[in-house]
Structure 1
Amino acid sequence: MSNPAQRITRDDIEAKFREIQGEVELIEDEARNYAGLVAVAVVVTVVAVAFLLGRRRGRKVRTIVEIRRV
């Protein structure tokens, strides 16, 4: 494809498609790794917030048990 007047062949199109496909696969792998890290961070954050809110509620609604001897 060095000459612009030259006809584009099926081989040229296939070569370009394979080149683009290889780049897309690399980007896909990077995005998948990044998405995995984000998912783990979100899960850890949700668990931490749930723990802290539950702990706070446990302190507010604490039951007091009074034992009396008769």
Structure 2
Amino acid sequence: MSQDHSRVSIGDIEGKIRQISGQAEEKIQDSKKDLMTAGGAAAGVLLVAVYLLGRRRGRRRSTVVEVRRV
């Protein structure tokens, strides 16, 4: 394996940084879609749970009134 003993230029460093940041950007975009889907599902489950708990509490606290005609 031969080694190149030339100096590292600023362009080499910038190119490598752009390459790494480009790969990171792709991973972020892929993860963002998955997180949005998971977040939407979690919000839906939370909404249903709050609704059901509120409904239960309302049934427990409501008074039953019986009306009789004489």
TM-score, normalised to structure 1, is 0.76
Greater shift after overlay, 13-22 or 53-62?
53-62
Whichever residue aligns with residue 19 of structure 1, its letter is: Q
Q: CA RMSD in A?
A: 2.0
**Over residues 11-61 of structure 1, what are the superposed CA-to-partner deviations in whole Å (9 max), with x where a residue is unaligned?**
211210110111011011022112212211221121011111112223322
**Partners of 1:39 and 1:12 in 2: how far apart?**
40
**Partners of 2:45 and 2:6 in 1: how far apart?**
58
Whichever residue aligns with residue 45 of structure 2, its letter is: T
**Partners of 1:66 and 1:30 in 2: how far apart?**
60
Task: Calculate percent identity across the aligned residue pairs.
Answer: 36
TM-score, normalised to structure 2, is 0.76
Gaps of 5+ in 1: none
Aligned residues: 69
Which runs of structure 2 are paired with 1:1-70 in the superposition (5 Å)? 3-69=3-69
Gaps of 5+ in 2: none
